Amino acid sequence: MRKSEIRLIQRHLQDQGLYTGRIDGLRGSRSNQAASQFLQTIQDQLPEGCAEWSSRRKAVGLLQWLCLQRDIEAGQIDGLYGPQTESAADQLIILNRTGELPRGFGDIVPLRVNPYQFPLESEQSLTEFYDEPCQTTLTRVECPWQLRLDWKLSSKTRRISIHPKLADSLGEILEQVYQTYQLEDIRQLGLDRYGGSFNCRKKRGSRNAWSTHAWGIAIDWYPSRNKLRWDSSRASLAHPDLDDWWNIWEQQGWLSLGRREDRDWMHIQAAQR
């Protein structure tokens, strides 16, 4: 379990008058004892045999119960921690922080246009359209706002290296974003947190398939808050405030893996699927 999830449990137990320790996200003896006490009060809502669960399993069961109380689907209360429990806990954390649940992925409708006829994401199609991976002489496009490298915020730039065929499109996109969002919004939403563009490498988890970054046709934004396997309930760029951001890219035919596949929300590419 993550510290953020244990804090949820500790705050609930504190509200019930069962826990007087620190809200520190550490599952110590006082937290475990308080959780066990509380579970006894809701025994009729728990599966048979839960009294024999380990202290960790009881904590997970309590977390699942807390999610279900707020109408967040967490599956059966079984005390077993998995992806469904983790996703439900993420939603509960957001609900407690913002007062509303994150939008479901099914409510996101990406634009499906391709005015520049960007190719399909296959090595043959990409090579025919863009040339061989890692071989193109890139051009630099000026960004209207200052970018900070997401992994080293003290390093700043205004230039994005990109395939020459994308220079005009990227320039228009960045200018339109700058006209749509205030500079304060750009910073608050993390649109100034740059994750890089060209990278001569294979796809993660593949020995043979080239990443679209190898052609210089993909850009990563705010990787630290939009990790590869994070879905729309966790990725910051899935927030409704970013709909205009994604619409601007999609109107030019760029594809967001987050908006299409609910993963890798950092990644935008000039190749279709």
Q: On the CB side of 255, how many CA atoms lie within 13 Å of its CA?
A: 21
Residue spans of the domains in the chain: they are 3-98, 107-269
Is residue 212 a contact partner of residue 126, using CB atoms and an 8 Å limit? yes
May I ask the CATH class of domain 107-269? Answer: alpha beta
Q: Report pLDDT for 101.
A: 80
**What is the model's pLDDT at position 87?**
86
What was the pLDDT predicted at 67?
96
Hey, which residues does 193 pair with through a beta bridge? 148
Query: What pLDDT, on the 0 to 100 scale, is given for residue 113?
Result: 96
Local confidence pLDDT in tens for the 273 residues of the chain: 999 999 999 999 999 999 999 999 999 999 999 999 999 999 999 999 999 999 999 999 999 999 999 999 999 999 999 989 998 998 899 899 888 887 778 889 999 999 999 999 999 999 999 999 999 999 999 999 999 999 999 999 999 999 999 999 999 999 999 999 999 999 999 999 999 999 999 998 888 999 999 999 999 999 999 999 999 988 999 999 999 999 999 999 999 999 999 999 999 999 999
Q: Give the pLDDT score at 143.
A: 98
Task: Give the pLDDT confidence score for residue 94 in this predicted structure.
Answer: 86
Q: Residue 64: which H helix or E strand, with range?
A: helix 55-69
Q: Specify whether the CB–CB gap between 64 and 7 falls below 8 A.
A: no
Q: State how far the Cα of 97 lies from the Cα of 178, in Å rounded to an integer.
A: 29
Q: What is residue 137's predicted lDDT score, i.e. its pLDDT? A: 95
β-bridge pairing 152-162 and 139-149:
antiparallel
Residue 100 has a pLDDT of 83
